[in-house]
Chain A
Amino acid sequence: MDGIKSNKVIWKDGTAKNITFIVTKDCQLACKYCYLVGKNEKERMSWQVAKSAIDYILDHKSDFNEESVIWDFIGGEPFLEIDLIDQICDYIKKELYIRGHHWFNSYRFNFSTNGINYDSEKVQQFIAKNREHLSIGITIDGTRRKHDLNRIWKGDGPEKGSYDDVVRNIPLWLKQFPHGGTKVTISSADIPYIKESVLHLYSLGIHEVNINAVFEDVWKEGDDDLFEQQLTELADAIIDGGWYEDYACSFYSENIGKPLDPVYDNTNWCGAGRMLAVDAAGNFYPCTRFAAYSLRSKKPLIIGNVHDGIDRDKLRPFLTLDRTTQSPQNCIDCEVASGCAWCQGENYDAAESPTIYQRATAICKMHKARVRANNYYWNKLFRKLELEGRREEYEANRKTSNPILPC
């Protein structure tokens, strides 16, 4: 059935190894909700560190036996280091070929960019060169007022929003990546603009809007009510306007808001530890969120480096972590537990002791508000399909599960 666009399909069903290069800790912007508390202009990855990381990874084939790989580039703003990235990607391609590696032709280069440099000559040359193996997401938060509320240029002087500098590149990006999705982040101040922002992004031609409420403890009294109201109004607009036919918003999913079995639904949500991140110093992390520049109150959690390799003992807690062991009893007993996400890095950062085994629950009331609005969305949509005689067709073609979207 073409009638309802579903959420993003993840390349290789999410089974690919995710390897992240933190190429720089610098960014042109100083977004107010950014979890990167230690951004700076000094920590830029050198070619030598990048090459050592690639050599280590490719030399240890048996430790990286996933069928496919996503090479992720993150910052700060990764495209500030386009020369280095180009060199890294060329080297990876060459080495995969020379070594007859099983990742040859089963790899992606992935970028999350603020979009400001997107149309630069160097970035465009890079895109042209790697087009078949490339995923790029540009972050635009919605309407000008919503975007400029948080996504401002860094520097002294009056606040300057970045909306105009990003939106001008959206047509070029969508021309090159027609299925490109954007990632929207919601914190307390953004809530009143959710509905208008999602509809604005649809009107720009972005068919896939992935939204996350931040995991940090930023929520104020009444935020959940306002959030629920915005999502309910957005549900009305999407369904009444017929947007659901061709556009998707990750807020709404049939599979959220159900109880979870403590035995059969006990997997960890987050992929930290199954991924690998490397920074400018050549240190390895279970995910970028465990690097020093991401942490407010804890020491970085380093699991090795490009010279000594990965200390596999330090990965064991990540690889044996399950939902119930890290959750408080009220989460285990929660009637609407499914779809309630967590970030292992934020759990670690917010924990009372240095552990990844204490689930942060700041997002609880926001999840419950989302579930109520989500129930409203599906009840309304199903009734509409029923009245249009399309419900049976939908049921026959429905997917059994929605993919878990990466953070």
Chain B
Amino acid sequence: MLKYLIVMLDRASVPFCHHEPAEKNEGLISAADLKNAIRFGMKENLVIQFVYPDRAIPAELENIIETIDHVKIKPYPSGKDDVLVADIGAIPQKAENETLVIRASIQELAEKVSEVENAIYRFKRVNIILKEPDSISEEDAGAYKLFLDRLTYYIAGQTASGKELPQFNLLTDRILLDKMNNCGAGDESITIAPDGKMYVCPAFYYDGDAPVEWDKEEGLQLPNAQLYRLDHAPICRACDAFQCHRCVWLNRRRTLEVNTPGHTQCILSHHERNASRNLLGRLREAGIAATLKDIPELDYLDPFEIVK
């Protein structure tokens, strides 16, 4: 069931997820399309998220945006709002009550781990999104594990010394979840692009996919829509890496099917899951988090092994 509507205000809207930014081929959404998008979101009871480009948008559009409750996703440093998106090389030093999305490669994470550590306690929430996930190798996955292990020690130490457990997508989400909480593109969320048309997510728009139609009686006219749901994903429905993005776009790039993740994606998510398990263990050793649910030990890093 749809819950979220993402509205890209410009073709060069900030990439807040795995996809790469568009070339500076600017193309603002029209006022009419923006109004229609908002009207659609209101009628379908959707939470609306507006994704901004790295430049000011006309006052006319801003005024339309303010006609509805919403979340703003903006690039740093031009924005200062609900969700900021920053490259790891330009993490904001001052923050208020925002969520920060850090886009980084694994190599950059390994090199700038202390900057991530500092950010985790400055923001309400930090999400790390891996850039160019398509080119991540198994060797990179090893470096990712080391990065996660270091953060596990850091967060456990800080929490033990009295700080509140932060919200950090890679390590604390899994501790707090008891079922899958994934991206949900094509199932729980849908994107309206600057052309006024509907797509599974911004990455599908950039890939040149055909737009998806909406029927007010039948809902989303997405061919084989069931494949975007967890119950039609044989590997994922057997998995307990609840924090995984389960990115349908990345799935399709790697395996040609939206419901099937590639091997590396599963490995990375299981490193996050296992590091979360280690963090939970350390918190318990410090007398914290006793009431949280166990994360069981696994003897695999890729649930494909138990499904095939």
Contacts and interface: CB of A to CB of B under 8 A. Distances in A.
A314 B223 contact: no
Interface in B154-190: none
27 contacts: A301-B256, A312-B263, A313-B255, A313-B262, A313-B263, A314-B254, A316-B235, A316-B260, A316-B261, A316-B308, A317-B255, A317-B256, A317-B259, A317-B260, A319-B304, A320-B260, A320-B304, A321-B234, A325-B234, A351-B223, A351-B224, A352-B224, A353-B223, A355-B227, A355-B258, A357-B224, A357-B232
B224 A316 contact: no
Given A314-B255, A320-B304, A325-B232, A357 B263 contact: no
Q: Which label, helix, strand, loop or mixed, suits the secondary structure of the B interface?
A: loop
Given A320-B235, A320-B304, A358 B224 contact: yes
A254 interface: no
A354 interface: yes
Contacts of B254: 313-314
Interface in A253-299: none
A299 to B, nearest CB: 10
Contacts of A320: 234-235, 260, 304, 307-308
Contacts of B256: 301, 314, 317, 354
A356 interface: yes
A322 interface: yes
Interface residues of B, number: 19
Interface of B: 223-224, 227, 232, 234-235, 254-263, 304, 307-308
Interface string A300-316: 01000000000011101
A322 B255 CA distance: 16
B257 A319 contact: no
Contacts of A312: 263
Given A320-B235, A353-B223, A357-B259, 5 more contacts: A316-B263, A317-B257, A320-B260, A320-B308, A357-B227
B169 to A, nearest CB: 24
Q: Which label, helix, strand, loop or mixed, suits the secondary structure of the A interface?
A: loop
Interface residues of A, number: 19
A322 B308 CA distance: 10
Contacts of A313: 254-255, 262-263
A204 B263 CA distance: 52
Q: Which of A301, A314, A355 is the most central at the interface, judged by chain B CB atoms within 10 Å of its CB?
A: A355
A273 to B, nearest CB: 10
A322 B307 CA distance: 10
Contacts of A352: 223-224
Interface string A354-368: 111110000000000
A138 to B, nearest CB: 36
B219 to A, nearest CB: 16
A239 B307 CA distance: 44
A32 to B, nearest CB: 30
Nearest to A357: B227
A355 B252 CA distance: 10
